[in-house]
Amino acid sequence: DTGVSQDPRHKITKRGQNVTFRCDPISEHNRLYWYRQTLGQGPEFLTYFQNEAQLEKSRLLSNRFSAERPKGSFSTLEIQRTEQGDSAMYLCASSSLWSKEAGALTGELFFGEGSRLTVL
Amino acid sequence: QKEVEQNSGPLSVPEGAIASLNCTYSDRVSQSFFWYRQYSGKSPELIMSIYSNGDKEDGRFTAQLNKASQYVSLLIRDSQPSDSATYLCAPGGATNKLIFGTGTLLAVQP
């Protein structure tokens, strides 16, 4: 399977615990994105990397959230001291900088299956 | 004003009819536009991309873009029950990320 893979698919934790999600992007993609989605809402941007550099973080993102992409390949998203409001689907997506069709920077994102977090 | 606005629906159409999904966006520098389909409990799946004003057809799907009006739409011809899903609109621009609307829930009635 050459798509985006995420692990774990489901995580149930107690409030106050730390959790970590992993994302393996499509191998030739140099951009990697994290989104969060709650019921009835569209995906909400959290952060993105170009290779190993974290280029943007959402201003809404609590300092309890941290993401890394140490070698420009897989990425991890850690949530410290989880709260019930953190319960959501955490989506990882990857993209390449260029599209043959557009001939320019585009933004086609390809999503993984997501990691569903439930905080009790 | 929200960055991306979509009617949340549900939009209910009979099988075989044309479903029309609309989206407006506020970022005038957006240059690429994407439609994603999301089945309940699943992740978004890219179904259409459009970069230029006008229409782009792919099978039963047609995307329409009007940058002057900051409007993009998706038409689904010969709607099937398997098309029942939430459709997410996502403009892309200078910000190097996609901002998603809340999505329109489409229900195709057999």
Q: What is the pLDDT of residue B3?
A: 87
Q: Could you give the C-alpha distances from B93 to A27, A56, A105, B68, in angstroms and in order? A: 24, 14, 9, 15
Closest CB from B34, B45, B97 relative to A56: B97
Provide the edge-to-edge strand list for the sheet that holds A5-7: A5-7, A19-24, A75-79, A65-68
Cβ burial of A59 (10 Å; 0-12, 13-18, 19+) is exposed
Q: What is the mean pLDDT of chain B?
A: 92
Cβ burial of B110 (10 Å; 0-12, 13-18, 19+) is exposed
Closest CB from A35, A107, A113 relative to B32: A107
Using the Cβ of B1 and the Cβ atoms of chain A, whether some distance falls under 8 Å is answered with no
Q: What is the pLDDT of residue B30?
A: 80
Write the DSSP symbol of residue B98: B
Q: Work out the pLDDT band at B1, boundaries 50, 70, 90.
A: low
Contact A42 B103 (CB under 8 A): yes
Instruction: Please give the Cα distance from A110 to A25 (Å, whole number).
Output: 9
Q: Could you give the C-alpha distances from B21 to A77, B2, B103, in angstroms and in order? A: 34, 17, 9
Q: What is the pLDDT of residue A112?
A: 97
CB atoms within 10 A of CB A36: 21
pLDDT of B9 strictly over 90: no
B43-100 pLDDT, tens digit each: 999 999 998 899 999 999 999 999 999 999 999 999 999 999 999 999 886 667 888 9
Q: What is the pLDDT of residue A2?
A: 76
Give chain A's residues under pLDDT 70.
1, 97-107
Q: What is the pLDDT of residue A93?
A: 96
Find residues 26-85 of chain B whose CB sits inside 8 Å of chain A.
31-32, 34, 42-46, 49, 51
Report how many Cβ contacts below 8 Å link chain A to chain B: 66
CA atoms within 13 A on the CB side of B53: 5
**Which residues are CB-contacts of A20 (< 8 A; sequence separation ≥ 6)?**
A76, A77, A78, A79
Using the Cβ of A30 and the Cβ atoms of chain B, whether some distance falls under 8 Å is answered with no
